[in-house]
Structure 1
Amino acid sequence: MDSRIMKVQVNGDSMWPTLVDGDIAKFESVEDTAFRIGQIVLAKHPFKTDLILIKRISSINENGVFLVGDNPDPTASEDSHNFGRISVADIIGVRQKMRIEQ
């Protein structure tokens, strides 16, 4: 497997219905990537150093990236609504197009 590809198991329902708890999603590591609204990314949590997030980019500006979960239940996702924008430098991967396992 390409060393830039990471397989990550989804933990929780914040990205439901796009990704389901237990799914394995593929992410490509990023270096100087031009991110786009709508991309699903793997990112470092800004305050919980042991937590990696899978979220969708909702907006991008000079202050950083606003990340959200896909689940319409607002209590289902800890995202930028809780902790604000994150630095682009905290994004470590971009999801490859397809869910590969459940």
Structure 2
Amino acid sequence: MRLGLAEVYNPSMLPTLRPGDQLVLSYGARVRPGHVVVLRHPFQHDLLIVKRVVERRAGGWWVVGDNPEVTNDSREFGVVPDGLVVARAMVRLRAPQGAAQVLSWLPSAVRPLTARSRRLRAR
């Protein structure tokens, strides 16, 4: 299993992921509904995006962001073929927002991203 790091840049996965969060990725890991994945945007293959897998459909995966206000997901571009899924996010690493927040930050700084971290249904 190959591991890597990625940084979250936009708010499409709020509240689960915030801009600035780091993700530990597993390349080649099995993907199931509920998992957070990094994938190539279906219309712009040089752009990597982070989404949650909702379900398997004919032709690939239905993926959505956790933030319902951002629709840059399968609601906009449809099913994502398996070949565009790059890696599965295993762990979120969150940096503290300031020196005064370090103590409240510690319990949530490192959090595994599992299928149970948020359950979504296809819309």
Per the TM superposition, whether the score is higher than 0.5 is: yes
Aligned 1:1-102 pairs, distance under 5 A:
4-30=2-28, 33=30, 35-73=31-69, 76-96=70-90, 98-102=91-95
**Runs of 4+ in structure 1 displaced over 2 angstroms?**
none
Segments of structure 1 that go 5 or more residues without pairing to the other structure are none
TM superposition shift of 1:56: 0.2
Q: Return the offset for 1:62.
A: 3.1
Alpha-carbon RMSD: 1.5
Looking at structure 2, the residues matched to 46 and 23 of structure 1 have their Cα atoms a distance apart, in angstroms, of 23
Shift of 1:6: 1.2
CA distance in 2, matches of 1:18, 1:77: 16
- Structure with greater helix percent: 2
C-alpha deviations, 1:4-36, integer Å up to 9, x for none? 1111010110000100011111110016x3x21
Task: Report if aligned partners of 1:13, 1:77 keep a CA contact under 8 Å in 2.
Answer: no
Structure 1 length normalisation: TM-score? Answer: 0.85
Q: Percent identity?
A: 32
The offset of 1:99, in angstroms, is 1.4
CA contact (8 A) 2:56 2:62 kept: yes
Q: Aligned pair count? A: 95
Higher relative contact order (CA 8 A, sep 6+): 1
Q: Which runs of 5+ in 2 are unaligned?
A: 96-123
Matched residue, 2:114: none
Larger-Rg structure: 2
The answer to whether the Cα contact below 8 Å between 1:23 and 1:100 also exists between their aligned partners in 2 is yes
TM-score, length basis structure 2: 0.71
Letter in 2 for 1:13: P
